Amino acid sequence: MVWIKRLSLLVASLLAFIVVLLAYVMLFVNPNDFKDELKSVALEKANVNLRLDGDISWSFFPWLGLELENIGVALGTDAEILQFDRAEFGLAILPLLEKKIQVNKVNLVNLKASLSKDAQGQGNWQLDLPESSASNSQTASGSSSATTATSVEDSSESVTPMNLPDIQLDELRIENAQVTYRDEQTKQLINATFNVELNDVQWDKAWPMAMDVALTQSDLQGNTPLQLKAKLNANLAVFPERESLSLDSLVLSGDVSSDALPTSPIEVKLSATNIDLDLPQENVLVEGLALSTLGLNVDAKIQAYQVLSSPQFSGVLSVGEFNPRYLMTRLNLPIPDMSDDTALTKARANITFEGSLDSITAQPISITMDETKIEANAVVDLSPLRWDVSIAGKNLNVDRYLPTPVEASPEEIAAAKTDNVTEAVQNTNVAGAEQNSSDVGELIPVDLIRSLNGHVGVVFEGLTVKKLRIDKIELDSTQARGLVKIYPLRASLYKGSVTSKVSLDVRGNTPVVDISPAIDGVQIQPLLVDFMDMDKIAGATYLNGELSARGNQIDVLMSSLQGDLLVEIKNGALVGTNLTKTVCEGIAAIRKESIKEDQFGPDTPFETMRFPAHIVNGKVSTPGLKISSAGIQVTGDGVVSLPDSSLDYQANVGVAGSELDKACRVNAKLTKLAFPIVCKGQFSDDPAGLCRPDIKGFGKLFANLAKDELKLKLEAEKVRLKEKGAELKAELEMKKQTEKARLEAKLATEKARLKAELDEKRQAEAERAKEKLKEKLKSLF
């Protein structure tokens, strides 16, 4: 035990010596006497110029304290980059024996830093060491390179856990720190003033942290400044053994001001319930994240794994209900002209997502905009970029978000149509010419479509577009670097259905659109009324065909439209046009009479309308038009021009006449005629005035009818005369035969009489001769 006593005496003697030495230093040594030596050492060893204008005071027990005033630091011959009015530091001595660092305060007052980077990227804070120091440092770095390599290899085999001394910091305060940063490379100037305060800093415990900052960013001349003011409050905990940290009760609030912003200032508040960072596992967890600005509230929860090696993340993002119109107003953004003032006033969204550097999956995505609800799932591959998106929604009226249609004057309509026709003719005459994608009025965003690569599926219920009401629409679309295919495309609307196959090819200079439509039982009248404000025809429509068009403006597409369609409309009517009335008007005009218009209805009902439509350069011809009805039969041919919005058509109508009006009564011969009716004009014209009887055609028809009747009379007279001649001939022949028979009978009678007379004469002669002979004989005897 003797050695223990001796060791104790040695330690006590050593402590006594240290106390005496500290007392001597505090009583008899003035730290200000070492200013020049400190300056020379800093200049010689580090090429640092120190300015120590204020007093230096220190203390050694129980706190190792140091206080400096009015200090400046410069590197080499440059201007000072660091200044502060006062720096205070206090470190407890006895806890050091237990490997504990206890600091009562660190206080920096009026810190000023002037940092700059020249055009070559050299910063004024980068040391330019003297040659001796530089050579020593290079030697040291060279000798340490092998050691470093060895240590890296060793660390790769076994990781030594971090072993830090215990630290207790009662207070850290940075007061009125001012930092100026000038960057000649990026041409920006930053001035920042901030205050920082930390209290009760210890490992494995949360300590309060508060900071406020005022920052101004501008160009080198101070123009277009961006000003930021912010305050931060949080509780920070550091866990050295686990190599992790935690930040809770985070509240960051501030405002940003700038003439470059759409509105100024913009107030922002960011808060988080908890933020955890685990360095060994490379994990980050953010809970209760909330952002609030301009009436917009965003809540989120984010988890990230292996953020330094192979990042993976997941999270939930929720955007609370907000008013997009109010947000745009606050941002001084122009609100689009919309037909409904209540549109775009309510929105919210929820997104659940996960992903990595290779792909991102967001499902489900829930979005509500006014009365429209959308649910979606999306998978996006980032290398190469490709997506697979499915969308289901309901109750979307696109017309609410479009400008209110403005009815133009007839003069403006005529001028616009003239311009459109001229432009369409010019575009169609330039065969093979490249179309400039920046032309005004482009309908198809060519560059955007060429960049698409993915798949999109959509199911929507209750959709209204351009007044076209669609009960349900389903489509499946693939996009592949300029080729977009939509198949199938199905829609239920107006008591019928539409199916179609669509392709859009923008891989060449001119976009090409191909459509294969099929319509089954769609009521055409309400569709045309809603879509085109046109009600000239009604009925259940059936259609099949192939269409194609080229161009990137609506007029060019209309002018280039090609294809064939087969159309049939059942149980319909020509609305606003009564063909029977029109025919009767023509009949009455020929007779120079008038009809009673109130006796006729406004429409022409029919059982079926069937026609093939052949389309060339936007002009539709229907040579096989046939309309069948109980009292009317119609055939027709002509051209409907889509680019000009006009029609030039002739219908041939066969009617049985009308018993409603004496002026329109027709005989059986007229019911076999087809009366010509001409329909000519613009789509916007009054339907009642589009069609009228072709009076010349009617006159020619009746003249031909008169000629035909005269010809028939002549033919009948010829037949009658021929029949009469045959009758006379037969009568003459009969008379001839009768006379011949009479004459033959008379001749026979005469012959018989003569024969009888002759026989009588002969007999008489014979008797006389006999008598004479008898007499002679008698005389003889």
Residue with tokens 């002037």: 114
* pLDDT of res. 351: 95
Long-range contacts of 650-655 (CB under 8 A, 24+ apart): 650/676, 650/677, 650/678, 650/679, 650/694, 651/579, 651/625, 651/676, 651/677, 651/679, 651/691, 652/676, 652/677, 653/579, 653/580, 653/582, 653/583, 653/677, 655/579, 655/580, 655/583, 655/584, 655/631
Q: Which DSSP string corresponds to 750-767? A: HHHHHHHHHHHHHHHHHH
Structural domain includes residue 219: no
Check residues 407 and 343 and name the one with the higher pLDDT.
343
Encode pLDDT of 275-311 as tens digits: 999 988 899 999 999 999 988 999 999 999 998 888 9
The band of 483, judged by pLDDT with boundaries at 50, 70 and 90, is very high
Q: What is the mean pLDDT of the chain?
A: 77
**Band of residue 324 on the pLDDT scale cut at 50, 70, 90:** very high
Distance from first CA to last CA of the chain, Å, rounded? 245
How far apart are alpha carbons 671 and 597 in whole angstroms? 21
User: Does residue 445 have a cis peptide bond before it, meaning omega lies within 30 degrees of 0?
Assistant: no
Is 454 a residue whose pLDDT tops 70?
yes
What's the whole-number mean pLDDT along residues 49-78? 72
**Inside any domain, residue 54:** no
pLDDT of res. 499: 92
Element containing residue 429 per DSSP (H, E): helix 410-429
- The tokens for 4 are 């223990």
pLDDT at position 603 over 90:
no
Residue of 35 and 126 predicted with greater confidence: 126
Q: Of 383, 376, 319, 390, nearest to 355 (Cα)?
A: 383
Q: 162-176, 314-328, 342-356: lowest mean pLDDT where?
A: 162-176
pLDDT at 476 over 90: yes
Q: What is the pLDDT of residues 395-433, one digit of tens each?
A: 999 989 888 876 555 555 555 545 544 544 444 444 344
- Strand 385-397 to 453-465 pairing: parallel
Query: Tell me, what's the pLDDT at 458?
Result: 94
More confident of the two residues 591 and 24: 591
Per-residue confidence band for 613, with pLDDT thresholds at 50, 70 and 90: confident
Predicted confidence at residue 570, as pLDDT, reads 87
Confidence class for position 723, pLDDT limits 50, 70, 90: confident
- Contact 471/495 with Cβ under 8 angstroms? no
Ranked by mean pLDDT, the top range of 378-392, 623-637, 665-679 is 378-392
Which of 37-51, 84-98, 431-445, 466-480 has maximum average pLDDT? 466-480
Res 9 pLDDT > 60: no
Tens of pLDDT, residues 91-110: 666 666 666 666 677 888 88
User: In the chain, what percentage of residues exceed pLDDT 70?
Assistant: 72
Question: Which pLDDT score is estimated for 746?
Answer: 78
Give the number of other Cβ atoms within 10 Å of residue 221's Cβ.
Answer: 8
- Tell me what the mean pLDDT of segment 358-372 comes to: 93
Work out the widest C-alpha separation in the chain, in whole angstroms: 247
- Per-residue b or e along 666-702, where b marks 16 or more CB atoms closer than 10 Å to that residue's CB: beeebeebbbbbbbebebeeebeebbbbbeebbeebb
pLDDT band with cut points at 50, 70 and 90 for residue 475: very high
Q: Contact at 8 Å (CB) between 301 and 274? A: no
pLDDT in tens, 37-51: 667 776 777 677 777
Residue 668 clears pLDDT 50, i.e. is over it: yes
On whether residue 609 sits in a domain, the answer given is: yes
Give the pLDDT mean for 117-138: 65
pLDDT at 673 over 80: no
Highest mean pLDDT among 117-131, 160-174, 191-205: 191-205
The residue ranking higher by pLDDT, 254 or 14, is 254
| CA–CA distance, 374 with 399 (Å, rounded to integer) | 18
pLDDT at 213 over 80: yes
Which strand (E) or helix (H) includes residue 718? helix 695-780
What pLDDT shows up at residue 128? 55
Q: Return the closest-CA partner of residue 274 out of 266, 284, 283, 264.
A: 284
Looking at the DSSP assignment, which residues form a beta bridge with residue 336? Answer: none
| Predicted local confidence at residue 273, as pLDDT | 92
Q: Which amino acid is at 108?
A: L
Give pLDDT, residue 151.
42
Supply the pLDDT for residue 511: 92
Label residue 751 by pLDDT band (50, 70, 90). Answer: confident
Which backbone phi and psi does 741 adopt, to 5 degrees? -65, -40
Tell me whether residue 250 is in a domain: no
559's CB contacts (< 8 A; 6+ apart) are 424, 425, 427, 428, 551, 617, 618, 643
Share of the chain above pLDDT 90, in %: 22
- Residue 50 placed within a domain: no
**Residue 601 pLDDT exceeds 50:** yes
State residue 632's pLDDT score: 67
pLDDT of residue 155: 40
Written as one string, the DSSP assignment of 106-158 is: EEEES-EEEEEE-TTS-BTTS----HHHHHHHHHHHHHHHHHHHHHHHHHHH-
Q: Cα separation of 230 and 255, whole Å?
A: 7
List, for residues 72-85, the tens digit of each pLDDT value. Answer: 888 777 788 888 88
| Residue 249 belongs to some domain of the structure | no
CA–CA distances in Å: residue 772 to residues 124, 757, 769, 781: 200, 21, 5, 13
Beta-carbon contacts of residue 181 (< 8 Å; ≥ 6 apart): 115, 116, 117, 189, 190, 191, 192
Per-residue confidence at 165, pLDDT binned at 50, 70, 90?
low
Which helix or strand (DSSP H or E) is residue 356 part of? strand 347-356
Which domain covers residue 674, as residue numbers?
410-420+442-693
Residue 44 lies in a domain: no
Most confident of 175-179, 695-699, 708-712: 175-179
Which pLDDT band holds residue 712 (cuts at 50, 70, 90)? Answer: confident
* 164-173, 257-266, 447-456, 504-513: the lowest-pLDDT one: 164-173
Is residue 268 assigned to a domain?
no
How many domains does one find in the chain? 1
- For residue 175, is pLDDT > 60? yes
How would residue 708 be classed by pLDDT, with cut points 50, 70 and 90?
low
Q: What is the C-alpha to C-alpha distance for residues 585 and 431, in angstroms, rounded to an integer?
A: 48
Section 706-725 average pLDDT: 74
Q: What is the pLDDT of residue 321?
A: 93
Q: Model pTM?
A: 0.66
Evaluate if residue 164 carries a pLDDT over 70: no
In contact, 559 and 618? CB cutoff 8 Å: yes
Beta-bridged to residue 235, according to DSSP, are: 208, 248
Over residues 514-555, the pLDDT tens digits come to 999 999 988 888 877 776 666 778 888 898 999 999 988 888
In the beta sheet, which residues pair with residue 210?
197, 233
pLDDT at 637: 80
Burial of 427 (C-beta count, 10 Å sphere; 0-12/13-18/19+): buried
